[in-house]
Amino acid sequence: MSQAHLQNTPGYVNNEGMKIVTSRFGYEDSFTIDRYLATGGYEALRKGLTMAPGDVHGEVKNASLLGRGGAGFPAGVKWGFCPPGKFPRYLVVNGDESEPGTYKDRLLMQRDPHQIIEGCLLTCYALGLSQCFLYVRGEMALAQERIADALNDAYEAGYVGKNILGSNFSVDIVLHWGAGAYIVGEETALIESLEGNRGMPRLKPPFFPAAIGLYGQPTIVNNIETLANVPWIITNGADEYKKYGSETSPGTRLFAVSGHVKRPGVYEVEHGVTTFRDLIYGDNFCQGIRDDNELKMFIPGGASAPWFFPEQLDLPLEARSVGAAGSMLGSGAIVVMDETTDAVKAAARIVRFFSRESCGKCTPCREGTTWEEDILNRMLSGKGRPGDIETLLKAASNISPGVYPVAAWEEGGLVAVPFPPKQTTICPLGPSSVAPIASAIRRFRSEFEAKIDEAAHATIEVSVGGGS
Amino acid sequence: MSRLSSENVLVAEEIIARYPRPKSAVIPLLHLAQEQDGYVTDEAMSHIAELVDVTPAEVIGTCTFYEMFKREEVGKYMINICTNISCQLLGGEELLHHAEKTLGIGHGETTDDGMFTIEDVECIAACTEAPCLQVNYRYRYFVTPADFDELVDDLRVGRVTDVSPHGTLTRSRQHIPAAKQAGIVPPEEAREQPVWLPAPEEGKA
């Protein structure tokens, strides 16, 4: 199978269109300081240092740069949440990418680490942050290596550290790395982990990081991709940034499309205007479903997102529309499943993930995800019992009470229930485990029933055979 | 078995000095211990506790939360096969079963010669290259059963150049030259705002 497009950067597809964060990905040596400087690198920092810190903040705020980690909150607004007058303040960069289906931050770290470093510097300058901790997922060895090398070169050249470019702006960027725990991608758990602890989330309120974060101080936590946009915005201005994408979701965004498509890959896409159909079927993107099969369902924003179906294909890649339609755009991870997919098996695999990754702090999640996994495994292994669907939904409702977000389905009489779900837990991990369950049961209940029926028949055969 | 070597203590001290509070260095130091011994020994954890001034129990508490830290010897090569959704859709589970059959071990187990450990892991962020795996945290993409067999053969005879023995994550470390260091800002110190910010407006605190 030819994978010519993967030679340079596995996963990345250099499709037609505006490139903001992947502009250097075509270069073999895109991660070096020489290439970075030769392609306009650290010019945004030079420009930023001639501006007042508040104006750098203002530019990012005007650009309406939405956070790329999952929640989609405007970065410039988040930056404004630090209580005035309280110092020191810190920057924590979330490079703990581990939402199933998500593959973009690792690419940015491996292919253009200086772009992230420059984004960190501008953020620290704008907000008066005294130190930056760049937290890279433990399993991403090459990303850690590239960032370590990039930081060493940037310190040597005077872009990071004391009196940057001869100014009175001084900040250290410290590479930190994790050790394997999905939950650490949650911002308060990330802070716990960075303090050397077990990565268990903190209750919000009061522990909103901007107010009480790292070491109890105001802390800005931003995703890698979010910060990678900042140098471009400072160089070109907010107005230029807003020429791309939609009014509510400006700029471009990275989407990883995986699963049963002809050309899976990470695409830089105009935010807010491109539709799921464009992305999955378009010639410039994934070019349709493998073997020209029918689309059965797709996950629009990582394993935590409720599933979408062919009816939702024409929605734009825009957070509000996707939220109103019953799911979330999340971390830009689209997983496509064709007609051959076993919905129960797919749901069970995602639930197993949440069950394994539950940190154990909240009882509904710790116990509930285990029950969900057990019941689904029982169904899959031909031991499902009558009433298991109801038991499963009951276990799920202990973690997320009320009506779970769902996509509209006319034939099945379902109207859209908007995102997010309710939760009885501190963080959204537990409620996320309900997404595949609620999605699959409401749309493909007959597949669950069929598994239970098969089990019932198998039981009868055994009892007849072994009875007399 | 082993505390950190004197050479690694110097590395540890450099790492600790980057954080406003020493305990923040626990995870990087556990990685350092794992790099030294291939897994994290009890003695290394006690040593780390001394270095960052916490109790050994606190270090063990942190260590046991994270999947990558092994407290027993594992194979020289840890092969982590992803079976999460994107890989499952394209043969990740079949690849795992093939690996188990080929090496004659179940996932979570190590071959008798101490060469290989297989793990059934969660998403490793290479979803568009499914099915994928990592060998000591270095990626292999679109892995077929034949690719797996070839990989194992290559590892056995030392034909693989981008993979270090288990425990070693990276070939380079961050180093901040003393003259270039901006300096840590401990939270305990009552601090004025950084010098590059303009003076606060009257009444704005």
For residue B73, what are its two tokens?
């010897």
Residue B200 lies in a domain: no
Q: What is the pLDDT of residue B185?
A: 83
Q: Is the pLDDT of residue A3 over 90?
A: no
Q: What is the pLDDT of residue B202?
A: 53
Q: What is the pLDDT of residue B199?
A: 84
Q: How far apart are CA A239 and CA A224, in angstroms?
A: 22
Average pLDDT, chain A: 94
Give the closest residue to A236 by CA, choosing from A67, A77, A62, A105: A62
Give the residue-averaged pLDDT of A31-39. 98
Contact between chains at A180 and B27 (C-beta distance less than 8 A): no
CA distances (Å), B77 to each of B137, B154, B156, B166, in order? Answer: 10, 12, 10, 6
Burial class (CB in 10 A: 0-12, 13-18, 19+), B25: buried
- Residue B205 with chain A: CB contacts under 8 Å: 84-85
Q: Provide the angle, in degrees to the nearest 10, between the axes of the packed helices A113-127 and A43-50.
A: 10
- In sequence order, what are the beta bridge partners of A245? A250
Statement to judge: residues B99 and B140 lie in one domain: yes
Residue B14 lies in a domain: yes
Query: For position B87, which CATH number holds?
Result: 3.40.30.10
DSSP state of A404: P
Residue B61 lies in a domain: yes
Q: What is the pLDDT of residue B88?
A: 98
Tell the CATH topology of A343-460. de novo design (two linked rop proteins) (1.20.1440)
Q: How far apart are CA A11 and CA A16, in angstroms?
A: 16
Q: What is the pLDDT of residues B78-95, one digit of tens each?
A: 999 999 999 999 999 999
Q: What is the pLDDT of residue B170?
A: 93
Q: What is the pLDDT of residue A463?
A: 55
Q: How confident is the model at residue B186 (pLDDT cuts 50, 70, 90)?
A: confident
Q: What is the pLDDT of residue A354?
A: 98
Q: How confident is the model at residue A460 (pLDDT cuts 50, 70, 90)?
A: low
CA distances (Å), B67 to each of A201, A433, B48, in order? Answer: 17, 20, 19
Task: Note which residues in 175-194 of chain B have CB less than 8 A from chain A.
Answer: 175-177, 179-187, 189, 191-194
Q: Is the pLDDT of residue A121 over 80?
A: yes
- Alpha carbon B190 to its chain centroid, in Å, reads 35
CA distances (Å), A261 to each of A177, A281, A290, in order? Answer: 33, 8, 5
Q: How far apart are CA B196 and CA A169, in angstroms?
A: 6
Residue B141 lies in a domain: yes
B58: closest chain A residue by CA: A197
Contact A115, A95 (CB under 8 A): no
Contact A340, A292 (CB under 8 A): no
Q: What is the pLDDT of residue A7?
A: 41
Q: What is the pLDDT of residue B6?
A: 97
Q: Is the pLDDT of residue A461 over 80?
A: no
Statement to judge: residues B56 and B102 lie in one domain: no
Contact between chains at B123 and A303 (C-beta distance less than 8 A): yes
Helices and strands in chain A: count of H runs, count of E runs:
16, 8
Statement to judge: residues B82 and B152 lie in one domain: yes
Option in A130, A155, A337 nearest B89 (CB): A337
Q: What is the pLDDT of residue A71?
A: 87
Name residue, tokens 């101490």: B114
Statement to judge: residues B67 and B87 lie in one domain: no
**Is B1 part of the contact surface with chain A (CB cutoff 8 Å)?**
no
Contact between chains at B125 and A97 (C-beta distance less than 8 A): yes
Contact between chains at A357 and B52 (C-beta distance less than 8 A): no
- In sequence order, what are the beta bridge partners of A275? A316
Contact between chains at B24 and A196 (C-beta distance less than 8 A): yes
For residue B72, what are its two tokens?
């027993």
B144: closest chain A residue by CA: A1
Final residue belonging to a domain, choices B71, B88, B103: B71
Q: Is the pLDDT of residue A327 over 50?
A: yes
Statement to judge: residues B87 and B126 lie in one domain: yes
Query: For position B28, which CATH number holds?
Result: 1.10.10.1590
Q: What residues does each domain of chain A span?
A: 22-240, 252-338, 343-460
Q: What is the pLDDT of residues A208-253, one digit of tens each?
A: 999 999 999 999 999 999 999 999 999 999 999 999 999 999 999 9
Sign of CA dihedral A56, A61, A62, A68: positive
A177: closest chain B residue by CA: B28
Beta pairing, strands A295-299 & A265-270: unpaired
> The sheet that has A252-259: what strands, in order across it?
A265-270, A252-259, A333-338, A295-299
Q: What is the pLDDT of residue A466?
A: 47
Determine how many CB atoms are found less than 10 A away from the CB of residue A375. Answer: 23
Give the residue-averaged pLDDT of A47-74. 96
Determine how many CB atoms are found less than 10 A away from the CB of residue A170. Answer: 20
Q: What is the pLDDT of residues B144-159, one digit of tens each?
A: 999 999 999 999 999 9
Contact A263, A287 (CB under 8 A): yes
Contact between chains at B24 and A194 (C-beta distance less than 8 A): yes
Contact between chains at B170 and A145 (C-beta distance less than 8 A): yes
Give the closest residue to A308 by CA, choosing from A393, A178, A405, A399: A405
Torsion of CA A219, A51, A74, A14, to 10 degrees: -110
Over pLDDT 90: what percentage of chain A? 93
Q: How confident is the model at residue B189 (pLDDT cuts 50, 70, 90)?
A: confident
Contact B120, B96 (CB under 8 A): yes
Contact between chains at A148 and B170 (C-beta distance less than 8 A): yes
Q: What is the pLDDT of residues A436-450, one digit of tens each?
A: 999 999 999 999 999
Q: What is the pLDDT of residue A2?
A: 36
Q: What is the pLDDT of residue B205?
A: 42
Contact between chains at B200 and A356 (C-beta distance less than 8 A): no
Q: How far apart are CA A421 and CA A319, in angstroms?
A: 15
Task: Note which residues in 79-108 of chain B have CB less than 8 A from chain A.
Answer: 80, 83-86, 88-90
Task: Note which residues in 11-50 of chain B have CB less than 8 A from chain A.
Answer: 18-21, 23-28, 30-31
Final residue belonging to a domain, choices B118, B141, B156: B156
Contact between chains at A177 and B86 (C-beta distance less than 8 A): no
Give the residue-averaged pLDDT of B162-179. 94
Give the closest residue to A286 by CA, choosing from A302, A270, A262: A262
Statement to judge: residues B81 and B67 lie in one domain: no
Statement to judge: residues B35 and B67 lie in one domain: yes
| Mutation target vs B (from A14, A91, A172, A255; most B CBs, 10 A cutoff) | A172
Q: How far apart are CA A204 and CA A211, in angstroms?
A: 11
Contact between chains at A179 and B69 (C-beta distance less than 8 A): yes
For residue B120, what are its two tokens?
């059934």
Give the closest residue to A429 by CA, choosing from A365, A356, A364, A361: A365
Q: Is the pLDDT of residue B204 over 90?
A: no
Name residue, tokens 């501006």: A51
Contact between chains at B200 and A84 (C-beta distance less than 8 A): yes
- Residue A156 with chain B: CB contacts under 8 Å: 177, 180
In DSSP notation, B39-83 reads S--HHHHHHHHHHHTS-HHHHHHHHTT-TT--SS---SEEEEEE-
Statement to judge: residues B85 and B63 lie in one domain: no
CA distances (Å), A223 to each of A31, A91, A94, A201, A230, in order? Answer: 19, 11, 5, 17, 12
Over pLDDT 70: what percentage of chain B? 97
Option in A102, A131, A149 nearest B125 (CB): A102
Q: What is the pLDDT of residues B32-72, one digit of tens each?
A: 999 999 999 999 999 999 999 999 999 999 999 999 999 99
- Computed over its alpha carbons, how large is the radius of gyration of chain A? 23
Q: What is the pLDDT of residue A468?
A: 41
**A-to-B residue pairs, Cβ atoms closer than 8 angstroms:** 249
Tell the CATH topology of A252-338. Ubiquitin-like (UB roll) (3.10.20)
Which amino acid, A325?
A: A
Q: What is the pLDDT of residues B112-140, one digit of tens each?
A: 999 999 999 999 999 999 999 999 999 99
Name residue, tokens 């077990």: A198
DSSP state of A180: S
Q: What is the pLDDT of residue A467?
A: 44
Maximum C-alpha span of chain A: 92
- What residue numbers bound the domain in which B26 lies? 6-71
In DSSP notation, chain B reads -----HHHHHHHHHHHTTSSSGGGGHHHHHHHHHHHHSS--HHHHHHHHHHHTS-HHHHHHHHTT-TT--SS---SEEEEEE-SHHHHTTTHHHHHHHHHHHHT--TT-B-TTS-EEEEEE---S-GGG-S-EEETTEEE-S--HHHHHHHHHHHHTT--SS-PPTT---S------GGG------TTS--PPPTTSPPPPTT--
Final residue belonging to a domain, choices B46, B71, B96: B71
CA distances (Å), B70 to each of A253, A352, B193, in order? Answer: 37, 22, 43
Q: Which CATH class is domain A22-240?
A: alpha beta
A160: closest chain B residue by CA: B180
Statement to judge: residues B83 and B125 lie in one domain: yes
**Alpha helices for A3-71 (secondary structure H):** 33-38, 43-50, 53-62
Q: What is the count of structural domains for chain B?
A: 2
Q: In the Cβ-directed half-sphere of B19, how many Cα atoms lie within 13 Å? A: 25
- Residue B191 with chain A: CB contacts under 8 Å: 87-88, 130
**Is B148 part of the contact surface with chain A (CB cutoff 8 Å)?**
no
Q: What is the pLDDT of residue A457?
A: 84
